[in-house]
Amino acid sequence: MMSEALTARDLANELLTVTSSSDARAVVNRATRIVGVPDDRPLQMRELLQMCEAMAAEGGLVQEVAELIARRVLADD
């Protein structure tokens, strides 16, 4: 089980390592609409992995960060 559940906002913060704040928010906003989750509550494992998949579709460095998050989450499970 993950030691601490992540929110969509946490995912946006992770993306700040590779993109601007506004772009990170845009990516996460698109992903939350695709997955159908709010950005203010901890995500369940399935939702988190779906969010990572949606973010990875952006490609490039965003994809790399999304894959890293997914691997980290799965390793903690």
Q: How many structural domains does the chain have?
A: 1
Among 8, 2, 20, residue whose Cα is nearest residue 50: 8
Domain that holds residue 40: 8-76
- pLDDT computed for residue 19 by the predictor: 96
pLDDT at 3: 46
User: Which residues in the chain land under pLDDT 50?
Assistant: 1-3
Exposed (0-12), middle (13-18) or buried (19+): which is 5, by Cβ within 10 Å? middle
At residue 5, the pLDDT reads 87
pLDDT of the residue at 39: 81
Residue 1 domain flag: no
User: For residue 43, which phi and psi values (nearest 5 degrees)?
Assistant: -85, 140
Residue 46 belongs to a domain:
yes
